[in-house]
Structure 1
């Protein structure tokens, strides 16, 4: 396994995404994240990265 290259701060951008959830959905998401021992932010970030990778797979 090869370590991912470090991103330079100037290559990163910050975007704010607002996600609206019901109380029950938020509770389920929080439970899932606690079970996987990750934060909700990291969970959403991983979802976005996976979606980008899948899109690039389809374009090949």
Structure 2
């Protein structure tokens, strides 16, 4: 039996130390599975902004 609350705490602690894309994605996935869709979507938006900031600048229209 998995302790989902403990898993959530683990990911939140990881994020407090370093906002890593993988930890954001995993916490988002866990929250969605736990039924917290709103929090999951908010984290995915943060993850998307983080990933966008890592892209090399390109000329855009």
TM-score, structure 1 normalization: 0.35
* More relative contact order, 1 or 2 (CA 8 Å, 6+ apart): 2
TM-score, structure 2 normalization: 0.34
Question: Which structure: larger Rg?
Answer: 1
More helix by share: 2
